[in-house]
Amino acid sequence: METRRTFCAALTALAAGAWLPGCRDKAAPGPGGGAGRLRIAVIPKGTTHEFWKSVHAGAVKASRELDVDIVWKGPLKEDDLKSQIDLVQSFTAQRVSGIVLAPLNDKALVASVNGATRAQIPVVVFDSGLSGGEVVSFVATDNRAAGRLAGGRMVKLLEGKGRIVVLRYQEGSASTREREDGFLEAVKKGGLQVVSDNQYGGATTQTAFAASESVLLARGADKGEIDGVFCPNESTTFGMLLALEKAKLAGKLRFIGFDASDKLVAAVRSGDIDSLVLQDPFKMGHLAVKTLVDKLRGQAVEARIDTGASLADKGNLDAPEIAALLKPDLAPWLGK
């Protein structure tokens, strides 16, 4: 009877293992695929969101152009800090040629990143920064410049005169803070008056909606005392849009948001939102892998690489370069 139990256990393990070889061929060429071929781990914050699919497509494009292998592996649970730390450690133990990482937290990933660097595995960070940590390069949207871009558009929309509300995202979020500061810098320079910039939308659309309603009411939006609104990310933009719609103010004041979703794009089309600042995740994935490969091949690389931002509005939604950001064609890269 004991032998039977043992046999069963062994059988289970074998049955489970039988999956692997087939999957491996499809997923990535094995480590033995060609001597000296670079193998690069790309670790996003998650794998299911549209944003990360674009990053993935960009990384695949770079890997084809530069003739390297990439292993695309996000945390098993979306946005799970512990699994991301585990992944960086596993890839370090595995001695991949290099790691491209979008850290979920600016402090918690520092130790693992330094561990990789100590093991002579260079790390390129993209999307969000690290506080400290030895990295080759940081590839991301220059958020301050993106904020200034939005601010410049607001000045133009209001012709240099008007009262502005900024709904901030969240305390301690570095990327959105830079967007807010860049925006404020530009609108102040352009002669606009900022009547509120100390309200925070918080993490979710729900909290952003509540904060939007309060600030609109407090600043007399219904009496026409606000001329323009800026929100620094998707959730605050959507929360503000809902609040404006509920107060029947949508379209009556100038509204610039950040990032895109189907609902936000529809609002741009209907005129409820004047402009959206768009980032370029495809370029982010592409440049992050390319920068790492350049470094591995002994070329000098920049410590900070801006992947740029663009403004979408009613007039250019269907222009090819904007449409490519809103609905990127990922099929050639991801094969779906």
Partner 1 sequence: MKAWLARPWFGPLVALVVVYLLFVWLSPDTFARSVNLSTMARQTVVVAIAAVGMTYVIIHGGIDLSVGSAVALTTVVIARVLERGSGPLVAVLAGVAVASLAGAINGLLVARLRITPFIVTLGTMGALRGAAKGLADEQKVDADPSGLDQLMSALSPSSPWLLPAGVWIALAVAGLAALALGYTVFGRHVVAIGSNVRTAELCGVPVARVTILVYALAGALAGLAGVMEFSTLTVGDPTDSIGLELAVIAAVVIGGGSLAGGQGSIAGAMVGAVLMTVIRTGCTHVGVPNWVQEILTGAIIVAAVGLERLRRRR
Where do contacts with partner 1 occur on this chain (CB under 8 A)? Answer: 1-3, 5-6, 8-10, 12-17, 19-21, 23-24, 27-28, 30-32, 47, 71-74, 76-77, 79-82, 85-87, 89-95, 105, 107-108, 110-111, 115, 119, 170-172, 202-203
Residue linked to tokens 């600030």? 215
Q: How far is the CB of 30 from partner 1 (least distance, A)?
A: 7
Q: How far is the CB of 1 from partner 1 (least distance, A)?
A: 6
User: Pseudo-torsion of CA 155, 157, 162, 168, nearest 10°?
Assistant: -70
Q: How far is the CB of 72 from partner 1 (least distance, A)?
A: 8
Please say which residue, 31 or 152, places its beta carbon nearer to partner 1: 31
Q: How far is the CB of 25 from partner 1 (least distance, A)?
A: 10
Q: How far is the CB of 119 from partner 1 (least distance, A)?
A: 8
> Which amino acid is present at 143?
N
Please say which residue, 84 or 141, places its beta carbon nearer to partner 1: 84
Which contiguous run of DSSP H or E holds residue 101? strand 98-101
Asked whether 165 and 192 are in contact (CB, 8 A), the reply is no
Please say which residue, 86 or 185, places its beta carbon nearer to partner 1: 86
C-beta pairs of 213-217 under 8 Å, 24+ apart in sequence: 213/243, 213/246, 213/247, 215/165, 215/167, 216/165, 216/243, 216/244, 216/247, 216/249
Please say which residue, 9 or 319, places its beta carbon nearer to partner 1: 9
Q: How far is the CB of 113 from partner 1 (least distance, A)?
A: 12
Please say which residue, 73 or 290, places its beta carbon nearer to partner 1: 73
Cα–Cα distance between 336 and 325 in angstroms, integer? 18
- Output b/e per residue, 255-264; b: 16+ Cβ within 10 A: bbbbbbbeeb
Please say which residue, 122 or 202, places its beta carbon nearer to partner 1: 202
Cα–Cα distance between 129 and 126 in angstroms, integer? 7
